[in-house]
Amino acid sequence: MRSGTLALLLAAAIVSGCENIALIGRPTLESRGPPERVTATIDGVDRQLQELYLLAEGNQHYAVRYLSGTRVTAQGRDYPAADLRAGDRVEVELREGADMRLYADQVRVVGSGGASAATAIRNVEGTVERVSLARGVLELRSRSGELLTIYVPDSSSAETRDRFHRVWIGDYVRLEGEQLSESRLELLAFR
């Protein structure tokens, strides 16, 4: 009798606990309109948040989420979205999800801007204007007045990541980075 009552209570708990399962927050791709196609250069990739940061014509910036089902193609072959790199030139089919965020349905790599033999290393110094620890990004105003975006890759040394976590707005810093575009660098080391 006791085990029957326990089984009945367990079954009731399971059934009643499942009625609100649809309320659990998760990305949804319920379309809020037709897909939009954007051609852009990848400024950065946040693998932890599964986001691509895109720069399109007219200095238009996009933060686009990708999911495990996002299709990525390059030269007719499929690749995981995690293989995308800053500097890649892409065509992205976007949809706005029910949560008002942009999601990539499909990404087609039309040109690679990854590391090349002519990779430029640049030493810069200036005042920190913005820090995003979650995204691994800081903005630096150089002595010449140029605003630079510095990406801190997940593969950075423990020393570099520790130093990044101690940077505050207003700090004057010197660093070395790999140039991704005219105003964007990937941090190699603080100096």
CATH number at 168 reads 2.40.50.140
Q: Which domain-ending residue is among 66, 90, 111?
A: 111
Q: Say whether 70 sits in a helix, a strand or coil.
A: coil
Of the ranges 29-33, 104-108, 132-136, 168-172, which one carries the lowest mean pLDDT score?
29-33
pLDDT exceeds 80 at position 180: no
- 6 compared with 73, residue with greater pLDDT: 73
Of the ranges 9-23, 59-73, 78-92, 117-131, which one carries the lowest mean pLDDT score?
9-23
Are residue 82 and residue 126 in the same domain, yes or no?
A: no
Residue 61's region, left for phi above 0, alpha for psi from -120 to 50, else beta, is: beta
Structure confidence at residue 7 (pLDDT): 60
Of the ranges 31-35, 102-106, 155-159, which one carries the lowest mean pLDDT score?
31-35
Are residue 141 and residue 174 in the same domain, yes or no?
A: yes
CATH classification at residue 101? 2.40.50.320
Cβ–Cβ < 8 Å for 124, 177 = yes
| Residue 157 burial class via C-beta count within 10 angstroms: exposed 0-12, middle 13-18, buried 19 and up | exposed
- Report if residue 130 sits inside a domain: yes
Q: What is the pLDDT of residues 52-87, one digit of tens each?
A: 888 888 778 888 998 888 888 887 788 888 778 888
Q: Is the pTM of this model over 0.75?
A: no
**DSSP structure class, residue 119:** P
Residue type, 31: S
**DSSP structure class, residue 126:** E
Residue 143 binned pLDDT confidence (cut-offs 50, 70, 90): confident
Structure confidence at residue 168 (pLDDT): 92
| Residue 105 burial class via C-beta count within 10 angstroms: exposed 0-12, middle 13-18, buried 19 and up | middle
Residue type, 58: G
- Report if residue 15 sits inside a domain: no
- Report if residue 62 sits inside a domain: yes
Structure confidence at residue 170 (pLDDT): 93
- Report if residue 23 sits inside a domain: no
Dihedral pair phi/psi, residue 168, rounded to 5°: -120, 155
Structural domain total, the chain: 2
Domain that holds residue 176: 121-190
